[in-house]
């Protein structure tokens, strides 16, 4: 063998451990089948190279002879990795509200990387980041995908698209600064251009702000901002490029126009009348209602420097939003889990589950919102369940979450893509 061939062979041997599939045999006391709501006792799972290859019962599905790792989770229940369809990783709720709006893009990127890890360790293996400055979260998404940093699977929207002076524009800066957010676009073709620009720089989902919002300056929370024609342009452009699009929409008319325009999910959904809910059911539109974070804002917002205008708008929205959630659940609308993390601390995402149950869902429905429903919204067929062929995104809690949904606030085990990120 020549020296070159020996070096090549050595190099291949060094690379081999990274190219050969790693096999894990995982067992626990129970496993939740989120599709039919059954709790399966004594499950056994085989995972190869990040995917589930077999699911069975202990004693029937044998441990492979060539297994690389064996994990026995005693007194624990396995649940598919959770999915949060509305987060903002680049912001922290306890930072000063106005000062944080002047953070540099590098600073926001570091914050997003920190919060990505906290979110993953909280059991959320997939998130949708609906708006961030300067493509900061897209950089974090790419870092996670490349294995540089730990974090959940991310769909990142890039800049939220906004009318001039609307929610998602920069309305806090003085006029002479001529500041505006990176997603500002007026008119259907300008909106299409902004969708294209986000995609150019790595966005794999899109967000448009259809109405005013709580945490912006000078916008009325229920007032429509974008016309139907502009919303349809955004939806058509996103769909033509194969992406799912979300609309921030508190107000009734904006919600209805966003649904009619073909937007895939409505965020917040605060002021929904019966017609809006019927439209959502008819069109199969997904609703994402952040019904926990109001408690944090009203308790800590003033101390965190949130202006009185914004706290008053939160008071205006909170009760109506929870009532809209209750009515939508009762009507059988498609519901996903969306927390708006950054309005409250990242890592506390799971606290919303108990509120979803309080305001109308069964524990199973709440878990389905964060698993199979969210996967369906994002058109993903290999996440959200523990089944052969699916990615090995698996968490565990000590007990039965169908009996105590609050267990999901404190997960004891997190696996994403077959790799363990938390175990205690």
**pLDDT for the residue numbered 196:** 98
Helix (H, G, I), strand (E, B) or coil at 265: strand
Other CB atoms within a 10 A radius of the CB of residue 15 amount to 10
Mean pLDDT of successive 10-residue segments in the chain (424 residues)? 43 40 94 97 98 97 94 97 98 92 95 98 98 96 98 98 94 81 96 98 98 91 96 98 98 98 98 98 98 94 93 92 98 98 97 98 98 98 98 98 98 98 94
Backbone dihedral region of 389: left (phi > 0), alpha (psi from -120 to 50 degrees) or beta? left
Backbone angles phi, psi at 170, to 5 degrees: -90, 100
**pLDDT for the residue numbered 20:** 52
CB 31, CB 39: distance < 8 Å: yes
Burial (Cβ within 10 Å: 0-12, 13-18, ≥19) of residue 236: middle
CB 377, CB 264: distance < 8 Å: yes
Cα–chain center distance at 116:
11
CB 53, CB 392: distance < 8 Å: no
Other CB atoms within a 10 A radius of the CB of residue 70 amount to 12
CA distances (Å), origin 21, targets 51, 101, 380: 10, 45, 23
């Amino acid at each position: 063998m020549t020296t070159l061939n020996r070096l090549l062979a050595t190099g291949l041997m060094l690379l081999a451990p990274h190219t050969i599939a790693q096999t894990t045999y995982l067992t626990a006391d129970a496993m939740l089948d989120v599709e039919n709501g059954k709790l399966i006792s004594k499950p056994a799972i085989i995972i190869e190279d990040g995917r589930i290859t077999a699911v069975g019962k202990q004693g029937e599905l044998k441990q492979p002879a060539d297994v690389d790792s064996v994990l026995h989770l005693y007194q624990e229940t396995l649940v598919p990795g959770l999915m949060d369809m509305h987060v903002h990783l680049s912001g922290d709720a306890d930072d000063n509200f106005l000062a944080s709006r002047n953070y540099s893009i590098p600073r926001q990127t570091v914050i997003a990387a920190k919060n990505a890890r906290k979110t993953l360790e909280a059991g959320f293996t997939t998130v949708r980041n609906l708006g961030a400055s300067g493509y900061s979260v897209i950089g974090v998404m790419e870092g996670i995908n490349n294995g540089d940093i730990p974090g959940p699977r991310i769909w990142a929207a890039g800049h939220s698209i906004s009318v001039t002076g609307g929610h998602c524009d920069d309305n806090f800066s003085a006029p002479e600064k001529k500041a505006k957010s990176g997603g500002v676009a007026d008119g259907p073709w300008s909106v299409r251009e902004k969708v294209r620009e986000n995609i150019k720089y790595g966005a794999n989902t899109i967000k448009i702000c259809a109405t005013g919002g709580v945490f912006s300056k000078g916008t009325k929370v229920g007032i429509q901002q974008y016309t139907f024609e502009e919303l349809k342009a955004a939806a058509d452009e996103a769909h033509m490029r194969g992406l799912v699009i979300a609309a921030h929409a508190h107000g009734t008319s904006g919600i209805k126009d966003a649904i009619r325009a073909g937007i895939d999910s409505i965020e917040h959904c605060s002021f929904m009348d019966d017609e809006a809910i019927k439209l959502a059911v008819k069109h199969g539109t997904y609703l994402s209602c952040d019904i926990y974070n109001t408690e944090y804002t009203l308790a800590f917002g003033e101390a965190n420097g949130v202006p009185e205008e914004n706290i008053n708008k939160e008071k205006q929205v909170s009760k109506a939003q929870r009532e809209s959630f209750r009515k939508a659940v009762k009507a059988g609308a498609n519901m996903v889990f969306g927390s708006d993390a950054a309005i409250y601390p990242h890592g506390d995402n799971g606290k919303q589950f108990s509120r979803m149950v309080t305001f109308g869902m069964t524990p199973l429905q709440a878990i389905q919102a964060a698993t199979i429903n969210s996967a369906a919204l994002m058109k993903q067929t290999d996440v959200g369940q523990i089944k052969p062929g699916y990615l090995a995104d698996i968490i565990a809690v000590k007990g039965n979450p169908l009996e105590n949904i609050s267990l999901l606030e404190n997960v004891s085990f997190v696996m994403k893509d077959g790799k363990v990120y938390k175990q205690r």
